[in-house]
Amino acid sequence: MSTAFVNGITINYQLEGEGPETVVLVNGLADDLETWGAQVPALLDAGLRVLSFDNRGIGASDKPAGPYTSRLLADDAKALVDHLGLTGIHLAGVSMGGMIAQEYALAYPGDLKSLTLACTYAAPGPFCSRMFALWADMAREMGVPTVMRDVGLWAFTVPFFEERPEEAAEFDTAMAEMTMSVEAYLSQLNVIQTHDTTERLGQISTPTLVLAGEEDILIPVRLSRRLQEAVPGSQWATVPGGHACLWETPEPFNTTLIDFVRAHSG
């Protein structure tokens, strides 16, 4: 792990691989760079260089007072990319990371060769907004680990709990051990509550893939599809699993991402 002081904060990051093409991975709410543990080896095996990092508010990055916005975190990512001298990147974000990636693509299109938006939306709408308001109340009353255990029920599919109970138990244990403060959680939660690119998606010019877990109920698939339909020339794909398809079914997720990156490399 390494750190960089950019955009007024210290960001923890990991840059791996020697490939000519660089994939930049952006995490979701309350997830550090270890989110991509099932993706990074596959990306490296595909000959890609990979940058992952902790967003502000999580992991070993700074946790300044919030609230945060998707544009602020996009500016953090941009500052890190510039600090490392990266150009012509392939940007991929999941959930909140996909929202950050949208803002990055709108503000800094010249940096990008491709854009992958996974399990995400252009705006939360009434359904997700109600869910997130409940999460905020739960965090204040019961703490972040309890909220994250609840998130697991929304993120994984029924077969995951039926067929892989040991992994489900490991997830619960990891959530119980979370050290993220309520203040930092609420600062990040604001990102997904306030994100709205609905009226600007037509300005995205980067080749874009919108990817969804076919059973996603946390960010309903219809919201991801609506996002894809608003981005000019974008592609649509689904993979088995739900919101946490990058963890539950990493192989098809990885293959879809790698194939899209390769199609826009060179």
Count of CB atoms within 10 A of residue 1's CB?
A: 12
The H helix count followed by the E strand count for the chain is 11, 8
Residues 11 and 121: their CA atoms lie apart, in Å, by 25
pLDDT in tens, 123-174: 999 999 999 999 999 999 999 999 998 999 999 999 999 999 999 999 989 8
Task: State the Cα–Cα distance between residues 53 and 129, nearest whole angstrom.
Answer: 27
Burial class, 31, CB count within 10 angstroms (exposed 0-12 / middle 13-18 / buried 19+): buried
pTM: 0.97
Distance CA 74, CA 77 (A): 5
Q: How confident is the model at residue 41 (pLDDT cuts 50, 70, 90)?
A: very high
Q: Which two tokens stand for residue 193?
A: 């509550």
Q: Which fold has domain 2-263?
A: Rossmann fold (3.40.50)
Domain residue spans in the chain?
Answer: 2-263
Check residue 115 and give its pLDDT. 98
| 212 DSSP 8-state letter | E
Question: Which residues, 6+ apart, have CB-to-CB distance to 26 below 8 Å?
Answer: 55, 73, 77, 91, 92, 93, 94, 97, 98, 100, 101, 104
Tens digits of residue pLDDT in 207-238: 999 999 999 999 999 999 999 999 999 999 99
